A and B are shown apart, each in its own frame.
Chain A
C-alpha cells in the first residue's frame, strides 16, 4: 500500500527479494544486516497530487497490476493528468504503455533534449526542458536533467511546495525485508555508507572513474539550489524525517564515491 510521505506525495513501493544477496550477506554480513532477513532492492513510483496529478515512473512490466491498482486507489476515480517516466528503462518505464491505455486522457511527458524519441515510443509525448515547471495547483514540479544520470533521456523532478527531490537512480540502497516502507531514520541499523556503497558500485558503475571534487561540488549545488526536505529515490527508501538526515545522506555519497573509485565497480550486474 502506498505511503503518503509529504502532503499529496505518495510513495508506491515494489520490492525485489534478492536471494543471492541474502546468501552473500549471511556469509559476510555488513553492519546493517541482521543475519536472517530477506534483502530487497526496491523500485518505486511516486504520485504527486495537487488539483492535478502526476505519476513519476511506472515500475517494471512485471508489476503492472500493482501500479495500476495502487494508482486507481489513490486517484479514486479522478484522472491521471501527467505520466512521466524518469527514463526509458524497463524498471522505470515498464508500464508506460499500459497506463497510457488505462488513463487515455493522460499527457505523456518526455525530455526536451531527447534525440530520436520515436525510438522509445515517445515521439508524441509533450516535451519539457531543464528548469521548466508544471503547475499542478497546490503543487509545482520542476523538471531537471538527471544530475547523476545513466542514460541521456533522464529526468529528475523537484516538487517546490514540499521541497521533495526525486533522485531516480541516485541514493538507491538495499533494505531488509521488514523495512520496505520505512524512512531510513526508522531503520534499526542504518549503516548508510555500506548500503549506498553496495548499490551505487553496481547501478552507477561510472562512479569508479569519477573526479571526486566534481561530485562534491555538484552535491553542494543540489543543497544550495533545492535545500530539499525529502529525498525520494527510485531504488531506495525515502529520506526525509529531518533536514539533517537529508543533508547527511547526500554528503555521505562523497566518501561512498571515494570508496567506489578506490575499489572499482561491482563485478556482478544484479544489484
Chain B
C-alpha cells in the first residue's frame, strides 16, 4: 500500500497477465477520523487485502464502501469486509435491476446519485457519467477533498514487474503506449465501433471540469497531474488505433 496524498491511500494487487501485470486496486480516502473505501478488490487475495486495510484503518474502522460496479474484481470482498468491519455504509451504482447489492449478499446499500454530488462521511463526492466503462452500471467518483478522479476500468494499463507500487510520477519512462492500447482493446471490446473524437471530447470535458490532481484507475498506476496530458494523448492514440480496426465475425 502507498500513500498518494495525506488522505489518499492506494491498495494495489497485481495479477500476472501474459508477460505483464495488471493492477486490481482499491483506494482508501482517509481523513484520519473517517475512512471511505473505493472498491473492494478481488477474492483472490482476500486475506492480504483485508490485512492491508486493517493496517490502514486501525481502530477507526471503515465508515463507507463505494463500489464502482458489481464486477467481481471490484466487488469481490464485500461480504468479508462486512464480517471484518461491521456496519459501514455501502454505496453502489447497481442498486436497481435484478441484482442489487442486497440480492448479491452484500447487505443494505444506498444508490449513488449519478451525475450529482453527494456528501458521504463528511466528504464531497461527485459522480460524473463515465465515458469509458465495461459495465453500464458503473460510477466514476471525484473526491473534491483530495482532487482525485476514480475511474474504475477507464484509464487502465498493464505494467511490468518492478512498477507495481509506483505512480506515474515515479515511472522513469512513463506509461508505455502499448500497455494502454492493449488494456483498452481487451477490456472495452466495444471500442472498435466508436468514433474516437466523441469519447475524446467527453473525456476532455471531464478533465477540464474536475481538473484532478490524480486519476486513480483500478487497473493501472495512479496518474498524477503533471502526467495527465501525456496520458490523455496516449489514450487518444489508443482509441484511434482501436477504432480503426474493422469488427469482423470469426468464421
Contact = CB atoms under 8 A, between A and B. Distances in A.
A119 B44 contact: yes
Interface centre among A144, A149, A205, A222 (most CB of B within 10 A): A205
B250 A149 contact: no
B135 interface: yes
Contacts of B247: 147, 214, 217-218, 221
A206 interface: yes
B210 interface: no
B191 to A, nearest CB: 8
A271 interface: yes
A210 interface: yes
Contacts of B94: 269
A270 interface: yes
B136 A16 contact: no
Given A147-B247, A151-B135, A267-B129, A16 B189 contact: no
Interface residues of B, number: 49
B133 A205 contact: yes
Interface residues of A, number: 55
A147 B249 contact: yes
A183 to B, nearest CB: 23
Given A150-B190, A205-B136, A269-B93, A62 B98 contact: yes
B183 to A, nearest CB: 10
A108 interface: no
Given A62-B99, A63-B98, A91-B99, A144 B73 contact: no
A268 B186 CA distance: 26
A204 interface: yes
B213 interface: no
Given A115-B17, A144-B249, 8 more contacts: A62-B103, A90-B99, A118-B44, A148-B190, A149-B189, A205-B136, A209-B198, A221-B247
Interface of A: 14, 16, 41, 43, 59-63, 88-91, 94, 115-116, 118-121, 129-131, 144-152, 154, 202-206, 208-211, 214-215, 217-218, 221-222, 225, 265, 267-271
Task: Kindly list the 3 A-B residue pairs having the minimum CB-CB distance in the complex, ordered from nearest.
Answer: A270-B96, A90-B99, A60-B98
Interface of B: 15, 17, 22, 24, 42-44, 70-73, 76, 93-94, 96-99, 103-105, 114-115, 129, 131, 133-137, 186-190, 192-195, 198-199, 202, 243, 246-251
